[in-house]
Chains A and B, each alone.
Chain A
Amino acid sequence: MTTFASSGVSLLLQQIENGITVGAVYALVALGYTLVYGIIELINFAHGDVFMWSTVVTLAIVQAMGLVHPLGGLALVGVMLMLIVIGMAVSGGLNVVIERFAYRPLRRAPRLAPLIAAIGVSFILENLAQLYRGAGFTAFPSIFPIGGFNLGGVQINFLDIFILLLAVVLMYMLNQFILSTKLGRAMRATAQDPEAAALMGVNINRTISVTFLIGGALAGAAGVVYSMYNGQVWFFTGFQLGLVAFTAAVLGGIGNIYGAVLGGFLIGLVQSIAIQYLPNGIAWSDATVFAILVLILVFRPSGLLGQQVPDKA
């Protein structure tokens, strides 16, 4: 009886560990939604697919280098560093290009127009990836050392620790960037009042481009580690993960970077636990996330860390 109970506890703890790991990925992607929404009030539907392209490019590089076995030592450090830098550059650059050509011309248009453009871009990105990689899953070779350690019945892999560390480092850097650099200040100013910011000499277009670059780069870094964590690459990953990450951003309070991080981890936890404890949990895990989204939007639209602001309309 006692063993049964303790295995129940460690099962829960294991799901919490999984939730934190996947939550770190959600948080990185959610930051991109929140940054963009904070500055131009647009839900960047293509953001999930920008994330997905990082996984696709990472796989292409790993295959081109002929890596199939777990790496070690300096080779591991070098390859991971290179993949993360390239993944961030690809997704960040892609996001900037999308903003420049699909969203910027529509900045004066009615709200519906840039949203529809974003959906179109999302479809283009997904289907280009499908043309390139096919409709099925492609296995991602396990180049990160397998294994880890067992802590009271909970298996903690090295990759999990790496993902969490990477996420924390990037979040810290983002926080420092926004709080204490000139560009970060320009971003905050633009988000708060674009016209006053422009009067103070802020280059609005450049600031928006930088925001898309940073948001994309965070998703890019997440894409690199997520493809290793998941062990496969799929053109449609971005659609589902993007929706989950968006839910995380809304849960935390969209426009608030701390909220996005909190929301990411919470959604990761809820999803892992739902998969474990709901009957036929995997089939319902997306539905659980949507249910959460609807409940938040209905009962606390400003999210956990957002403040209630008076209606304007």
Chain B
Amino acid sequence: MSVSTKGSTGAAGRFQGVRAYLDHTQFAGRPVGWYLTGWRGGLIVLFLAILFPWVVADQSLIQTGIAICVYVLLALGLNIVVGYAGLLDLGYVAFFVIGSYTTAVLTSGFIADAKGVPHNFTPISFWLVLPIAALVAGFFGVLLGAPTLRLRGDYLAIVTLGFGEIVPIFFNNVPYFFAQFGIQATQPADIGPISFQSATDNSPIYYLALSLVVLVILGVISLRESSLGRAWIAIREDETAAAASGINLVRTKLLAFGLGAFVGGVGGALNTAFVPAINPSEFNFGISITVLVMIVLGGLGSIPGVILGAVILKLFDFYLLGRLNDIVHASPLVTEPGAPFHFLAAFDLGTTKFLIYGVVLVTIILLRPQGLIPNVRRQRELKGIGASVEGASAVGLLEREEAGLLEPSAEEDEQSAFTGAGSDAQGRDS
């Protein structure tokens, strides 16, 4: 968790003023930066998050806070898979859907038969369903991972993408889940004097969300420090070396996949606890991509990074884009009929959201692949990407050899290229 002030060598020049302030300004005998580093910074953020509902009395802001918590959970879960284990999962929404539907069905007490006729059963309390939903999502993570994790990384990306597409199709087309009508969510039962069903006060759900986030963060930290976490990182850095050191590749990857899905299921359950109803059409590829952008933006493998990424993207989504739209539409450069940007008047900037996500994804991966708050180890691994533009165009063999560009494929059949044998989908992950 050593972050924020350390390890920003990539863009050091630009942040020198801030860094000098953090390093040299003393507060109670320590530099200011010391207080913001590691668990101390985390505690400060947590403290602010706890105060949040008291400071803002606005219920819609608290709801935003809950939605941010849902996405922070998703980002933390996907970070296990992509950031730690280095497996690209493009269908993460699937586990979010599974968590949401498990919770909705079990807490509502309604399920349809094959003809779409509803039948009711005794609803189960949200507090019991929460772990069940997470386990069900984790189970499906393992189920999907077991046959596919033997594949090399880029195939895995496609298979997970397909899974993410199929799961909402499934909920939309089988009769048991009321298809397009969706399922009305049931609020969690009260605990003592704390009511989770109040229409006027969202703060209990907010604190529930915050506690889940804290629990998941603690879990993820202890996982990362465990032998399993080190095995994930070893696999990410060099699969061959990891296997040679006695790491069981399939089992280790499967655990990353299952645990990532488990956290996604927690996110889904929490989502169901506060939205009025869930509907298959809300769950789409856009969610998978949004979560991916969050963790890439914040910093793959960095817990504070992915949290920051989730918060930034959700705030951008909820407020900044709308605000920006208002500003643009109020500008005389746009409103005047002859003005240079008049064509923007009839244009809703909200529709550019995913365009901006795409630009963020490409820009970050090209210019700052370690993200906003880098994980120090990951940064070292990704180092030199931005600087390789000139190197890549040089034909010098030595240079490419050092850089490990396009490893020689001696094991391929001699007449393989294009006309003969294709390459294998398995193994070979450089």
Contact = CB atoms under 8 A, between A and B. Distances in A.
Contacts of B381: 110
B161 A243 contact: yes
A86 to B, nearest CB: 25
B397 interface: yes
Interface string B361-402: 110011001000000000001101110110111010100110
A35 B169 CA distance: 31
Interface stretch (B115-123, B148-156, B315-323): B148-156
Contact of A192 (B355, B397, B412): B412
B170 A305 contact: no
Given A105-B386, A111-B430, 10 more contacts: A123-B357, A178-B419, A190-B417, A205-B395, A256-B420, A287-B165, A287-B170, A297-B151, A306-B421, A312-B411
B339 interface: no
B158 A112 contact: no
A250 interface: yes
Return the 5 tightest CB-CB contacts between A and B, nearest first: A120-B361, A123-B358, A306-B422, A301-B425, A311-B427
B362 A120 contact: yes
A41 B403 CA distance: 16
Interface string B177-192: 0000000000000000
A293 B162 contact: yes
Contacts of B388: 105-109
Contacts of A43: 154-155, 157-158
B293 to A, nearest CB: 8
B317 to A, nearest CB: 15
Contacts of A109: 369, 382, 385, 388
A81 interface: no
B9 interface: no
Contacts of B414: 192
Contact of B417 (A105, A191, A254): A191
In which size bucket is the chain B interface?
A: 35 or more
A294 B417 CA distance: 25
Interface stretch (A126-134, A158-166, A269-277): A126-134
A309 B428 CA distance: 10
A41 B170 CA distance: 32
B423 A119 contact: no
B392 A188 contact: no
A231 B148 CA distance: 37
A38 B289 contact: no
Interface residues of A, number: 87
Interface in B136-159: 147-148, 151-155, 157-159
Interface stretch (A50-58, A59-67, A195-203): A195-203
B405 A194 contact: yes
Contacts of A297: 147-148, 151, 155, 159, 425
A127 B369 contact: no
Interface string A112-153: 110111011111101110110001000000000000000000
B419 A179 contact: yes
Given A119-B361, A179-B419, A192 B425 contact: no
A255 B361 contact: no
Contacts of A115: 88, 153-154, 157
Given A107-B392, A108-B384, A293-B158, A124 B366 contact: no
B163 interface: yes
Contacts of A199: 397
A104 interface: yes
A212 interface: no
Nearest to A124: B358
B418 A35 contact: yes
Interface in B336-372: 351-352, 354-355, 357-362, 365-366, 369
B173 interface: yes
A141 to B, nearest CB: 25
Nearest to B146: A298
Contacts of B391: 108
B115 to A, nearest CB: 14
